[in-house]
């Protein structure tokens, strides 16, 4: 089957949805998801979205982001994102996203590595609330067509120019031709045994990029979140948000001793926990918030409270067993400030991209922000330039079985080469 669209967007996390909603309503857009509209890491985000508190906070926000990223970030990109953070938050509020507030004033929380409270949230299920709101908006747009349960298997390429993508749905191939294509395919947690990510995220777009020589950057930069709920059975590890620590939760070893400053950047806290697990020869440490008011805990963290109850843990009374788990990919498809990749007419936004914002350790709650700022920049660029573009249809014969096999292994093997130290964590 062949379809034609002005813009093709692959992925329905915050970056894909925000790109679609900021594109001109005169364009015809197709947005494709591998599974359902809500099967993304953005939907699972708990803590919130960081933003410069006001213009006077931009400098401190930049410093915190660079410090967490161990100064491997691109400083001009960090500054640009901090400066534009307030605008994208205002757009979300206009789209009817409701951040927690008191007497009309927004409430800001804190997480590891932030020198002040600058994280907006909706209880402890910010991602679900934001994505549900954006999906409602998306469905009201007549110019946007949604295609579910369709896996990207290949790009359609002519001389380093992207002409669209090939998808597989119910064992049938669909070629979608477009003037511009945007990859918003998310993270790589599906390649790891222990990850907080949606399991469908297996880095397919990164394998495809490797096949076409599209530039990747910082392949080795993988983030482990310090506190995923320890349990032996679940497929995806349930995240215990860093905002618990921001609100006062304490990390203790199995002997009940505190061993780390809980609000250090994520890599430092995760390393301290790994050491503790090794030294004490145990499988988890404890995160304890039971000293806070019970009603406050239940009201501020309803998702975590109820999920832990399902595992027999009452977080208003009991410490929570936690361990680090793969959480985020800072590496990815190299992009510039308009989300352009090294292939003509191909963009990448969100976790699949590498913008230089995060360095080798992302600051807490900067991921949704990155998706918003770069989604907006990508759509602005497309709105401005699309009138000069034409759809080109190409006849190509492909060995799809071979391509699917390569997609499955190419990025995974590349990762193994760059990070032999985490071989045991990979599936
Ligand atoms: C969390 O709530 O701890 C996760 C937020 C993030 O990944 O930045």
Hey, what are 328's tokens? 């985020």
Least Cα distance to 50 among 330, 267, 242 occurs for 242
What pTM did the predictor assign? 0.97
408 plus 263 within the same structural domain: no
Q: What is the pLDDT of residue 60?
A: 98
126 plus 86 within the same structural domain: yes
The answer to whether 227 and 364 have CB atoms below 8 angstroms apart is no
366 plus 382 within the same structural domain: yes
Mutate to test the pocket of ligand 1, among 47, 123, 363 (most ligand atoms within 8 A of CB): 47
The residue behind tokens 């950047």 is 265
Mutate to test the pocket of ligand 1, among 41, 45, 362 (most ligand atoms within 8 A of CB): 45
Residue 169: is it exposed, middle or buried by C-beta count within 10 angstroms (0-12/13-18/19+)? middle
Q: What is the pLDDT of residues 74-132, one digit of tens each?
A: 999 999 999 999 999 999 999 999 999 999 999 999 999 999 999 999 999 999 999 99
122 plus 56 within the same structural domain: yes
Q: Which atom of ligand 1 is nearest to the CA of 227?
A: 3
The answer, yes or no, to whether residue 409 has pLDDT greater than 80, is yes
Residues 6+ apart with CB under 8 A from 25: 141, 142, 143
Q: How remote is the CA of residue 395 from the centroid of ligand 1, in Å? A: 44
Q: Which of 298, 326, 354 is the last residue of a domain?
A: 326
Q: How remote is the CA of residue 36 from the centroid of ligand 1, in Å? A: 22
The catalytic site residues sit at 266
Mutate to test the pocket of ligand 1, among 65, 243, 262 (most ligand atoms within 8 A of CB): 243
* Number of compact structural domains in the chain: 2
d(CA 235, CA 80): 37
CB atoms within 10 A of CB 123: 17
Hey, what are 145's tokens? 């067509």
217 plus 233 within the same structural domain: no
What are the backbone angles phi and psi of residue 366, rounded to the nearest 5°?
-90, -5
> How large a percentage of the chain has pLDDT more than 90?
97
195 plus 126 within the same structural domain: yes
23 plus 161 within the same structural domain: yes
Q: Which of 307, 326, 345 is the last residue of a domain?
A: 326
Q: How remote is the CA of residue 325 from the centroid of ligand 1, in Å? A: 12
- DSSP character at residue 53: S
Q: Is 12 helix (H, G, I), strand (E, B) or coil?
A: coil
CA 366 to each of CA 23, 172, 335, 386: distance values in angstroms, whole numbers, following the listed order: 23, 38, 17, 29
Q: Which atom of ligand 1 is nearest to the CA of 46?
A: 2
If you average pLDDT over residues 262-288, what whole number do you get? Answer: 97
Provide the pairing of β-strand 2-10 with 172-183. parallel
Element spanning 398, H or E: none
Q: What is the pLDDT of residue 191?
A: 96
Q: What is the pLDDT of residue 233?
A: 66
d(CA 31, CA 18): 11
If you average pLDDT over residues 54-61, what whole number do you get? Answer: 97
Q: What is the pLDDT of residue 397?
A: 86
The answer, yes or no, to whether residue 1 has pLDDT greater than 90, is yes
Q: Indicate the Cα dihedral angle 93, 94, 95, 99, nearest 10°.
A: 10
191 plus 239 within the same structural domain: no
The answer to whether 330 and 222 have CB atoms below 8 angstroms apart is yes
Hey, what are 129's tokens? 């609330």
217 plus 308 within the same structural domain: no
253 plus 393 within the same structural domain: no
The answer, yes or no, to whether residue 231 has pLDDT greater than 90, is no
In the Cβ-directed half-sphere of 324, how many Cα atoms lie within 13 Å? 22
User: Domain residues for 254?
Assistant: 224-326
- Residues with a CB atom less than 6 Å from ligand 1: 45-47, 239, 241-243, 364-365, 367
Q: How remote is the CA of residue 247 from the centroid of ligand 1, in Å? A: 14
Q: Which of 276, 296, 326 is the last residue of a domain?
A: 326
What rounded mean pLDDT belongs to the chain?
Answer: 97
112 plus 135 within the same structural domain: yes
Residues 6+ apart with CB under 8 A from 179: 6, 7, 345, 386, 389, 390, 391
If you average pLDDT over residues 212-237, what whole number do you get? Answer: 93
232 plus 354 within the same structural domain: no
Q: Is 39 helix (H, G, I), strand (E, B) or coil?
A: coil
Whichever domain contains 171, its CATH number is: 3.50.50.60
d(CA 285, CA 273): 7
390-393 long-range contacts, CB within 8 A, separation 24+: 390/179, 391/4, 391/163, 391/177, 391/178, 391/179, 392/158, 392/161, 392/163, 392/177, 393/2, 393/163, 393/177
Q: What is the pLDDT of residues 340-363, one digit of tens each?
A: 999 999 999 999 999 999 999 999
Residues 6+ apart with CB under 8 A from 233: none
Q: Is 163 helix (H, G, I), strand (E, B) or coil?
A: strand
Whichever domain contains 321, its CATH number is: 3.90.700.10
Q: What is the pLDDT of residues 166-178, one digit of tens each?
A: 999 999 999 999 9
């Amino acid at each position: 089957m062949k379809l034609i669209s002005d813009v093709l967007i692959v992925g329905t996390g915050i970056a894909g949805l925000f790109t679609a909603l900021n594109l001109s309503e005169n364009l015809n857009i197709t947005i494709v998801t591998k599974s359902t509209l809500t099967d993304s890491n953005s939907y699972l985000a708990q803590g919130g979205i960081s933003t410069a508190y006001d213009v006077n906070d931009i400098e401190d926000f930049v410093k915190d982001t660079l410090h967490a990223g161990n100064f491997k970030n691109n400083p001009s990109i960090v500054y640009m994102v901090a400066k534009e953070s307030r605008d994208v938050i205002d757009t979300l509020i206009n789209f009817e996203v409701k951040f927690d507030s008191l007497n009309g004033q927004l409430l800001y929380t804190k997480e590891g590595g932030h020198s002040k409270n600058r994280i907006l949230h909706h209880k402890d299920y910010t991602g679900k609330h934001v994505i549900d709101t954006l999906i409602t908006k998306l469905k009201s747009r007549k110019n946007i067509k949604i295609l579910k349960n369709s896996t990207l298997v290949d790009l359609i390429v002519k001389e380093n120019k992207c002409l669209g993508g090939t998808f597989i749905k119910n064992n049938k191939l669909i070629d979608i031709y477009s003037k511009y294509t945007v990859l918003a395919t998310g993270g790589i947690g599906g390649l790891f045994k222990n990850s907080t990510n949606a399991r469908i995220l297996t880095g397919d777009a990164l394998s495809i990029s490797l096949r076409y020589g599209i530039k990747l950057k910082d392949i080795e930069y993988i983030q482990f979140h310090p506190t995923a709920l320890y349990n032996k059975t679940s497929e995806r590890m349930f995240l215990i948000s860093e905002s618990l620590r921001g609100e006062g939760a304490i990390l203790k070893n199995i002997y009940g001793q505190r061993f780390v400053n809980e609000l250090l950047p994520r890599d430092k806290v995760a390393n301290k926990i790994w050491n503790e697990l090794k030294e004490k020869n145990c499988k988890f440490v404890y995160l304890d918030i039971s000293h806070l008011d019970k009603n406050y805990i239940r009201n501020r963290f309803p998702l975590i409270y109820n999920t832990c109850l399902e595992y027999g843990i009452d977080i208003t009374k009991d410490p929570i067993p936690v361990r680090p788990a793969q959480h985020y990919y800072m590496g990815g498809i190299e992009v510039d400030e308009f989300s352009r990749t090294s292939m003509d007419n191909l963009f990448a936004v969100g976790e699949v991209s590498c913008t230089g914002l995060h360095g080798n350790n992302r600051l807490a709650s900067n991921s949704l922000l990155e998706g918003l700022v770069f989604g907006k920049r990508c759509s602005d660029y497309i709105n401005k330039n699309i009138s000069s573009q034409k759809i080109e249809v190409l006849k190509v014969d492909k060995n799809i079985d071979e391509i699917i096999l390569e997609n499955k292994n190419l990025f995974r093997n590349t990762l193994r080469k760059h990070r032999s130290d985490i071989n045991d964590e990979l599936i």
